[in-house]
């Protein structure tokens, strides 16, 4: 049975424009529908992973994978921009062979909680520091919402579901992880966008349970 969740305050705030356009009741119904669909998608993705028993990286538990997140574009991986530190660091495309990949491209996906954490900065904080999660900026629900690193807080902006086939990473807010304008150049920003299963939205060959 899928249990609907009340969207967090930040998520509701990001939908003010929708409320003005469609009315408050319709906007609430739209958000609840998105969350319900995500729960179904997450369940399907999890069952698919269990059914096929995809191999996992060494050191991972039955519900975790860790390492790089490669794009379908050759030699391109999901990477954080460390210029201003981990909190709020924007996501971009990086070179999978970069010598800093163990820091900027090291991720842990927990299929149970749906969180994707940066291994390096989370470990650096130890038991007292925050864990850092892949996050939809300001709990945004719209197309072109930037994706960033942010202290883990358990909100839907930080919940993801990975579908091995075809390789799409869905966010609980209703969009998927997408490379801006399908540009494979190094440094291209990564944001949220409607699902279309183009190469800009396919991730994981060689990493996610592969």
- Cα 80 to chain centroid distance, Å, stands at 13
How far apart are the C-alpha atoms of 22 and 202, rounded to whole Å?
32
DSSP states of 40-109:
HHHHHHHHHHHHHT----TT--TTEEEE--BBSSTTEEEEE--TT-STTPBEEEEETT-TTHHHHS-EEE
The terminus-to-terminus CA distance of the chain in angstroms comes to 29
pLDDT in tens, 160-193: 988 776 788 999 988 999 999 999 999 999 999 9
Residue 4 within any structural domain of the chain? no
Structural domain contains residue 3: no
Average pLDDT along the chain: 77
Residue 42 pLDDT greater than 90, yes or no? no
The conformation of residue 18, written as its DSSP 8-state character, comes to: H
Collapsing DSSP states into helix, strand and coil, what is residue 94?
strand
pTM of the model: 0.73
In a domain, 207, yes or no: no
If one counts the domains in the chain, the total is 1
- Asked, for residue 195, whether it belongs to a domain, the answer is yes
Q: Which residue has the tokens 């130890």?
A: 126
Q: Does some domain include residue 126?
A: yes
Query: Could you tell me the pLDDT band of residue 93, with boundaries at 50, 70 and 90?
Result: very high
Share of the chain above pLDDT 90, in %: 42
pLDDT digits (tens, 9 = 90+) for 43-66: 666 655 555 555 444 444 444 456
Cα-based distances in Å from 172 to 38, 56, 160, 176: 5, 24, 6, 9
**What percent of the chain is modeled with pLDDT above 70?**
64
- The answer to whether residue 153 scores a pLDDT higher than 60 is yes
Q: Tell me, what CATH number does 108's domain have?
A: 2.80.10.50
pLDDT in the model for residue 125 = 75
pLDDT, one tens digit per residue, over 79-89 is: 999 999 999 99
User: What is the span of the domain harbouring residue 63?
Assistant: 9-201
Which tokens is 11 given? 């998520």
Residue 123 has pLDDT above 50, yes or no: yes
Q: What is the pLDDT of residue 58?
A: 42
Residue 208 lies in a domain: no
Classify 19 as helix, strand or coil: helix
Residue 9 has pLDDT above 70, yes or no: no
- Both structure tokens of 8: 């967090």
């Amino acid at each position: 049975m899928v249990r609907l969740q009340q969207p967090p305050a930040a998520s509701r705030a990001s939908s003010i424009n929708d409320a003005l356009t469609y009315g408050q009741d319709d906007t609430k119904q739209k958000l609840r529908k998105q969350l319900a669909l995500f729960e179904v998608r997450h369940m399907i993705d999890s069952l698919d992973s269990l059914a096929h028993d995809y191999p996992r990286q060494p050191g991972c538990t039955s519900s975790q994978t860790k390492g790089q997140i490669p794009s379908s574009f050759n030699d391109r991986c999901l990477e954080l921009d460390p210029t201003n530190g981990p909190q709020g660091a924007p996501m971009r495309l990086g070179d999978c062979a970069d010598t800093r990949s163990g820091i900027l491209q090291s991720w842990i996906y927990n299929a149970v909680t749906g969180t994707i954490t940066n291994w390096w900065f989370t470990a650096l904080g130890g038991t007292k520091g925050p864990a850092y999660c892949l996050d939809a900026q300001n709990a945004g629900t719209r197309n072109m919402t930037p994706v960033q690193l942010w202290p883990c807080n358990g909100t839907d902006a930080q919940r993801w579901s990975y579908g091995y086939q075809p390789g799409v990473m869905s966010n609980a807010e209703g969009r998927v992880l997408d490379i801006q304008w399908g540009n494979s150049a190094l440094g291209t920003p990564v944001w949220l966008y409607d699902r279309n299963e183009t190469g800009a939205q396919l991730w994981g060959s060689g990493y996610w349970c592969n």
